[in-house]
Amino acid sequence: MNDTLVQMEGIDKRFPGVQALKDCHFNLRPGEVHALVGENGAGKSTLMKILAGIYPVDRGTITFKGNQVTIPNPNAAQMMGISMVHQELNLMSHLTAAQNIFIGREPQNWFLLDENTQNRNSKELFDLMNLKVNPSMKVGDMTVAKQQMVEIAKALSFNADVLIFDEPSGALTDVETTELFRIIRQLKDKGTGIIYITHRMEELKEISDRVTVLRDGLYVDTVNTKETNIDQIIQMMVGRVIYESSPEVPEDRSEEVILEVKNLSRGNELKNVSFHLKKGEILGFAGLVGAGRTETARAIFGADPIDSGEIIIKGKPIHMRRPSDAVSNDVAYLSEDRKRYGLCLSLEVKTNIALPIFQHLSNALGWVNDKRVDDISKNLVEKLTIRTPSIEQKTKYLSGGNQQKVVVSKWLAKDADILIFDEPTRGIDVGAKQEIYTLLNELTAQGKSIIMISSELPEILRMSHRIIVMCEGRITGVLDHSEATQEKIMTFATMRNGGNQDQNNPAQRGHV
């Protein structure tokens, strides 16, 4: 009993209409990293939210440091020494890092807030994590990765014995994840128990000591990471065999250039970005967060203005003033943030699918031909095997993978030729990821051309015909898939102030 920090036994949790957890077990030792994996909806977050006092438990017992406890609310959990870093960032963007960390327990001088002490204490936390973060900087001005670090600092500030990470690496690039792992190892050495929820299989080997697998709210097994291989874990998760690692790059592609971008520039974000996309090709865009990949995509799509540069589609220069210009030239952009930029969540599947084409499906009076809307959306729902009770279902009730497929359907309905996918598999579970990959390959086989931005190197290497690497707003490397390796990509991705795009801009090469 001594070497068990947390013991959860026979945990049941029911939400209206669904049994989220049934008879689940979990135990955590001090100084271990215990990974919790499972497909979306398996119950990982629910189990941890019970431990963190966010949900009350229906049945079962929780033992913490040998004593049976009830955890009525998050505050009680934090006081006991259990802190959770959430998947979605819970920060107030108008407040500073320090203000966010000490929210609700601000140091005070009489009745005045003591910002100095607060900043000093935050600085100490950041130093402990070996991070350079200015405590008095507004969180809204920080990168997502830095914001994540502020969340972690906040969790640490409670002197937690148990630290729960809910998919912390979702928003981080590989380099930033490495940094996170360094912090985790540091905490582990001090005897903190770490629970780590993740979708990224390759991270398990790197960071975890043990892995617990959940499936459909049920406990499957707990294994020692060293004695298990990844395919076994995936098999436990999905209950069927999936081969994660086979590369699938079809070789048949034409040499026809469908999109050409010349010297795209905007302020500090884009510097002379030039590249071309061939018909039927998947062009991977790799780089760290903030390298300018999303900015490039949004500029091509007309979502953000550019200072200078040329966009040539099928040989014709196009002036992109707004997204509707791009759409009418058969360019589609699928944002990484589906909920914010891709879907009208309160509207039905069919309305979302037909959104770009309602004008084509209506007569001169604006009367919409609902029969055709239904036909088109039914057809696509079937073709892409979108799991929804009907096309009338509101998209907010669909799972992440199926929501992504609705966004793809929208652009298939529009018959777009150039599809820009920004992190197409973010937040999607292993099984659905596989379906998205198959879909991308089918699209290129039909002659569609794809730009795929991804922060997951295995995904980039597996899917792309060619890979463009960006760093700090410029293209630092172009690799054919036959020569590409993780190491080469990372070299280009960290090539600050250099790269092959600077030849015509000597000022930025640094003088000799």
Residue 413: exposed, middle, or buried by beta-carbon count in 10 A (0-12, 13-18, 19+)?
A: buried
Which residue type occupies 358? F
- State yes or no: residue 358 binds another protein (CB under 8 A): yes
Smallest separation, CB 135 to another protein (Å): 32
Interacting residues with another protein between 413 and 442 (CB under 8 A): 414
Which one among 162, 343, 408, 484 touches another protein, defined by CB under 8 A? 343
- 344 close to 391: Cβ distance less than 8 angstroms: no
Smallest separation, CB 7 to another protein (Å): 22
- State yes or no: residue 356 binds another protein (CB under 8 A): yes
Is residue 109 helix, strand or coil?
strand
SS (H, E, C) 89-134: CCCCCCCEHHHHHCCCCCCEECCEECHHHHHHHHHHHHHHCCCCCC
Smallest separation, CB 438 to another protein (Å): 22
- Spatial separation of the C-alpha atoms in residues 67 and 41, rounded to whole Å: 30
- Spatial separation of the C-alpha atoms in residues 456 and 490, rounded to whole Å: 11
Smallest separation, CB 404 to another protein (Å): 13
Which one among 344, 385, 480, 497 touches another protein, defined by CB under 8 A? 344
**What are the two backbone dihedrals, phi and then psi, of residue 451, each rounded to the nearest 5 degrees?**
-105, 125
Kindly state the tokens that stand for 110: 């009489």
Is residue 343 helix, strand or coil?
coil
Kindly state the tokens that stand for 328: 């009418």
**Selection from 347, 345, 311, 341 nearest residue 329 by Cα:** 311
Size of the site for another protein (CB under 8 A): 51
Smallest separation, CB 39 to another protein (Å): 10
Nearer to another protein, 285 or 301 (CB): 301
- State yes or no: residue 397 binds another protein (CB under 8 A): yes
Nearer to another protein, 376 or 479 (CB): 376
How far is CA 262 from its chain centroid?
29
Only one of the segments 74-82, 257-265, 308-316, 343-351 lies at the binding site for another protein (rule: CB under 8 A); that segment is 343-351
| Strand-pair category, 257-266 with 270-278 | antiparallel
Interacting residues with another protein between 365 and 394 (CB under 8 A): 365-368, 370, 387, 389, 392-394
- Site mask for another protein (CB under 8 A), range 298-337, x = bound: ---x-x------------------xxx-xxx----x-x--
Kindly state the tokens that stand for 57: 């438990």
Residues at the interface with another protein (CB under 8 A) = 15-18, 20, 40-46, 301, 303, 322-324, 326-328, 333, 335, 340-347, 351, 355-356, 358-359, 362, 365-368, 370, 387, 389, 392-394, 397-399, 410, 414
